[in-house]
């Protein structure tokens, strides 16, 4: 047990790359495109790109090349769909990575860059010290780098690229939309479904509790084994929320764990993905639980342990009518809601409860 915990800690400390940016000439393919249009992919390159995609690692390109010719070649090689927002121009590669960082909204430390030329790697490392710069290497070796090996590959990981592409289309639509925010949200035809977490969901649930950039009321993390027990426990309710809209799926974006105590339901964990906060759907899961608790006639309490990232969750609780009841644990608090004012779900989203 202790060994496993130590191993888990070590795994958490390896940085995880969320986006790999490729150079092309002499890195992804042999030769220089503008010198010889018949460049051939390096050994196992296509497999590497597809495998990384399967693992949920986003990929892009930073190449000093002619845009049309390059895109044409990527399409010919059947790989163009795997690269988000390819940066193909004659400016610095560090500027390409900055553009990607802003567009994809990922931390710079989650970027890796692979290029055969030391000059390019140094240029990028100089401007962005946090980026993992890699030499062009046999691609088999690339695939076993710990930084490129996620702990778990879930359905959401496999679809990550597609989800980002939907996000880009959505963001473009939002930019162009002329009208109030609520009308834009209504135009998305959002559907949120809430269901008890089943076996297939648990890996994604574990992933959500481990990812530190989620909005999380207590910061508790649970191993897969613990989650399995909880999902089968009659004293617990583990719910997972997914969201889709007309542009596609957002994936599983919310999680709640309720413990049925003697005189109250205790919300031990409420977690929302930051991605959906701007959709105004952050409190739907909470409202659903409050409604269920009211129907059962039980009291409803929630645990809150502040950290440097989760004040938004405290505000969510307060604005949903929770009041501080008593302190708890190390700097935490138990909040209680008298359930006198359980709000309605917002009109612009359809909520499906599958229980």
Which residues of the shown chain bind other proteins in the complex (CB under 8 A)?
Answer: 178-182, 277-280, 282-283, 312, 314-316, 318-320, 324, 343, 346
CB atoms within 10 A of CB 195: 15
Rounded alpha-carbon distances, angstroms, from residue 47 to 43, 51, 74: 9, 6, 14
Cβ 315 to other proteins shortest distance, Å: 5
Under 8 Å between Cβ of 249 and 159:
yes
Cβ closest to other proteins, residue 174 vs residue 324 = 324
- DSSP letters, 80-120, are GGGBSS-EESSS-HHHHHHHHHHHHT--GGGEEEEES-HHH
Burial class (CB in 10 A: 0-12, 13-18, 19+), 328: middle
Under 8 Å between Cβ of 21 and 61:
yes
Cβ closest to other proteins, residue 35 vs residue 347 = 347
Under 8 Å between Cβ of 88 and 70:
yes
Block residue for tokens 């929302």: 272
Cβ 326 to other proteins shortest distance, Å: 14
Under 8 Å between Cβ of 134 and 120:
no
Cβ 215 to other proteins shortest distance, Å: 11
Bridge partners (DSSP) of residue 190 are 349
Integer Cα distance of 319 and 334 in angstroms: 15
Cβ 239 to other proteins shortest distance, Å: 19
Burial class (CB in 10 A: 0-12, 13-18, 19+), 91: exposed
- Closest to 338 in 3D by CA, of 327, 325, 326: 325
What is the longest distance spanned by two Cα atoms in the chain? 76
Cβ 269 to other proteins shortest distance, Å: 20
Integer Cα distance of 239 and 308 in angstroms: 25
Under 8 Å between Cβ of 131 and 113:
yes
Cβ 58 to other proteins shortest distance, Å: 26
Cβ 136 to other proteins shortest distance, Å: 45
Cβ 159 to other proteins shortest distance, Å: 25
């Amino acid at each position: 047990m202790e060994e496993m915990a130590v191993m888990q800690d070590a795994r958490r400390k390896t940085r995880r790359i969320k986006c790999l940016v490729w150079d092309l000439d002499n890195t992804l393919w042999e030769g220089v495109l503008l010198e010889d249009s018949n460049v051939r992919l390096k050994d196992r390159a296509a497999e590497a790109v597809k495998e990384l995609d399967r693992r949920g690692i986003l990929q892009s390109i930073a190449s000093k090349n002619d845009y049309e010719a390059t895109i044409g070649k990527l399409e010919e090689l059947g790989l163009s769909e795997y690269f988000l927002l390819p940066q193909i121009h004659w400016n610095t590669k560090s500027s390409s990575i900055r553009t990607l960082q802003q567009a994809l909204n990922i931390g710079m430390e989650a970027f890796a860059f692979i290029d055969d030329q030391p000059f390019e790697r140094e240029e990028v490392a100089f401007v962005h010290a946090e980026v993992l710069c890699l030499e062009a290497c046999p691609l088999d070796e690339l695939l076993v780098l710990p930084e490129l090996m996620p702990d778990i590959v879930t359905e959401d990981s496999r679809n990550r690229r597609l989800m980002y592409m939907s996000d880009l289309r959505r963001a473009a639509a939002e930019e162009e939309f002329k009208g109030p925010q609520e009308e834009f949200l209504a135009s998305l035809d959002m559907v949120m479904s809430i269901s008890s977490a089943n076996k297939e969901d648990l890996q994604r649930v574990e992933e959500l509790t481990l990812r530190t950039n989620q909005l999380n009321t207590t910061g508790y993390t649970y191993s897969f084994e613990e989650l399995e027990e909880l999902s089968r426990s009659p004293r617990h309710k583990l719910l997972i929320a997914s969201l889709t809209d007309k542009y596609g799926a957002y994936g599983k974006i919310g999680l709640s764990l309720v413990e049925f105590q003697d005189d109250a339901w205790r919300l031990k964990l409420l977690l929302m993905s930051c991605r959906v906060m701007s959709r105004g759907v952050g409190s739907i899961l909470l409202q659903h639980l409050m409604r269920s608790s009211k129907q059962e006639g039980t009291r409803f309490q929630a645990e809150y342990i502040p950290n440097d990232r989760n004040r938004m969750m405290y505000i969510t609780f307060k604005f949903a009518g929770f009041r501080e009841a008593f302190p708890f644990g190390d700097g935490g608090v138990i909040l209680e809601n008298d359930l006198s004012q359980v709000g309605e779900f917002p009109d612009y989203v359809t909520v499906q409860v599958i229980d």
